[in-house]
Structure 1
Amino acid sequence: MAIQLATNELSSVNDVPFRNLLISNFATTQEVLNELLTYQGNINKQLSTLTTNINTSVDGKLTEQDSALADKLKAQSQDLTERISHVIMGTDTDSIHAVLNKMILDGELRGQRGDAGKDGRDGLDGESAYQIWLDAGNVGSKADYLASMASSASILQGKTLDIIGDSYVANNGQPVSQTWHYKVANQHSMEYNNYGINGNGLITTKATGTPVVNRVGDMDSSADYVIVVGGKNDYNQQLAITDFKDGLANLIQELVGRFVGKKICFFTPWSIAEPGTMNIPLSQYSQAIEDVCGAYSIPCFNSAKRSGILAYNGSFRAKYFQTSNDSSHLNDAGHNLFVNPATKFLESL
């Protein structure tokens, strides 16, 4: 027996799409009910056949087994009858869930898309970070603002920096304000003391002026950071490496004694194209500085290995050095290249 649900009465519903949706839902429910009825009919057919076999059987054991199966089929048929009644009455939650799940899978429970809402009004533009900085009482250009943001979290901020050495420090007649060390100090509002002498050696007395090893006492002892840059003029004078190392050990002892607990570090010369007229290459002096610093636990930035300053390359020198034949003195653009590597190194001390 098939069930035909009364859905035609929904014709009185004025909302045509909604009416069609309800009819579709009832049709789905009807389909599930008829599937249950078909299953019940098959069970009843098996039950009838089994009953006939029981009545004609002469085997007592077979009759007992068939009787148990018959009881099971009767219970299933009765259960189906109750479920069908519950579905029709709307009280069989399992079947209702099955119907609903099928509707969801078929996309039949989605309602119509509503009308699009009106666009909201645009909000007012907020103040720029630069303007907020000015409103907080700061004074300066956008460049000043960016510099303050870059340096505000740095450990270097407001500290005192002493730097001593040769023309890498004094800048070979060009403004000291173009040097990387001056730029680092300026960006971080550091007090800056420059003790550079063009042509000066770290150890040798044959170069220009009193060597650095004998000038430590001239430096501001209150400095937080002490930078030593040199070695190129010791190389120019071909000072013996053993004498150079002995002098470096003395220099470090002088620095440690004057700047107790302060940040002391060395920077070596750039890597150059050797002219072929020197018995001892510049790389040996840079390595000697790194080795002696390591022996005394003093940080050293080996510029010959990790600076990114390619003094051995003619095209690089033409763009970033004071002249195309110069392999020691950076121009303003060249110094700018070294600001970030040097800053990160100093912040790591």
Structure 2
Amino acid sequence: MIIDVLGDSITAGCGASSPDKNFVSLLRKKLGCTVNNYGVGGTRIARQRAMHYEYGNDHDFIERLPMMDKSADFVFVFGGTNDYAHGDAPVGDIDDNDEYTFYGALNIIVKYVRENIKNAKLCFLLPTHRLVEKYPFGENGCKKGGCEPLIDYVNAIKAVCARHGLDHIDLYGGGFTVTEENKNEYTSDGLHPNDKGHEFIADKVAEYVRKNS
């Protein structure tokens, strides 16, 4: 069995105390199979219209789709938190099909996987909670035109999954909460999971794979 995981810094392993404790590495151990990690820190699902002051051309998810193993049995897509925090693409509308809105980028990902990784079961992971979920103008004020709350991105992923008949793993409604008081329980910094948080995510994904294999 082969699993592809496309994501951002959380998928790359940020917050884990060592590479073998990030959720992708844990998946390999739990399932005993090949799990390809396509996580790149700072990246977003949707494409930027202008370079970000910190991340520049951040190699968005769509740009990286062709790098993925086309013989995969499962494809997991785990993103959205960076689109919320510092992406310049609007959430958009569910009928969008261009890479410069969040909805449009999601639809492109679905189309690509269905056409190019034909034997894979595609599943989205909803963003985990984070300490600040309602930035008025994005992280560090980078969204001058205002910022939709994280829940809007969560709901967009759910809506796209519903439209295309796809599953999602609810790490938002069914995951851990993050507050100032408990932020160190599951995260290292209020966003990136610590070892306990990565274990939580790995268990959720492993459970899904076992049920759908």
- Residue 239 (str. 1) matches residue 89 (str. 2): yes
| Aligned ranges 1:148-167 → 2 under 5 Å | 159-167=1-9
CA shift, 1:200, in A, is: 0.5
| Structure-2-length-normalised TM-score | 0.79
For 2:184, the equivalent position in structure 1 comes to: 318
CA shift, 1:197, in A, is: 0.4
| Cα RMSD for the two superposed structures | 1.9
- Residue 333 (str. 1) matches residue 186 (str. 2): no
Answer whether contact 1:161 1:185 (CA < 8 A) is retained.
no
CA shift, 1:276, in A, is: 4.2
For 1:3, the equivalent position in structure 2 comes to: none
Q: Which ranges in structure 1 are unaligned for 5 or more consecutive residues?
A: 1-158
Supply the distance in 2 between the matched residues of 1:336 and 1:167 (Cα, whole angstroms).
16
CA shift, 1:173, in A, is: 7.0
Give the number of aligned pairs.
186
Supply the distance in 1 between the matched residues of 2:104 and 2:156 (Cα, whole angstroms).
10
Answer whether contact 1:204 1:234 (CA < 8 A) is retained.
no
Structure ranking higher on relative contact order (CA contacts 8 Å, 6+ apart): 2
Q: Which ranges in structure 2 are unaligned for 5 or more consecutive residues?
A: 93-100, 138-146
Residue identity opposite 1:162 in structure 2: D
CA shift, 1:345, in A, is: 2.2
| Aligned ranges 1:133-282 → 2 under 5 Å | 159-172=1-14, 174=16, 175-205=18-48, 206=51, 208=55, 209-236=58-85, 237-242=87-92, 243-272=101-130, 273-278=132-137, 279-282=147-150
Supply the distance in 1 between the matched residues of 2:47 and 2:19 (Cα, whole angstroms).
24
Following TM superposition, the consecutive aligned residue runs of length 4 or more in structure 1 with deviations greater than 4 angstroms are: none
SS in 2 for 1:220: coil
- The one-character-per-residue Cα deviations of 1:301-333 (angstroms, maximum 9, x if unpaired) are 1321112x212x2233222212xxx23211112
Q: Mark the CA change 1:348 to 1:211 in structure 2 (over 3 Å): closer, same or farther.
A: same
Residue identity opposite 2:157 in structure 1: I
CA shift, 1:286, in A, is: 0.9
| Aligned ranges 1:121-140 → 2 under 5 Å | none
Q: Mark the CA change 1:180 to 1:172 in structure 2 (over 3 Å): closer, same or farther.
A: closer
CA shift, 1:168, in A, is: 1.4
More helix by share: 1
- The one-character-per-residue Cα deviations of 1:80-120 (angstroms, maximum 9, x if unpaired) are xxxxxxxxxxxxxxxxxxxxxxxxxxxxxxxxxxxxxxxxx
Supply the distance in 2 between the matched residues of 1:246 and 1:224 (Cα, whole angstroms).
25
Identity %: 24
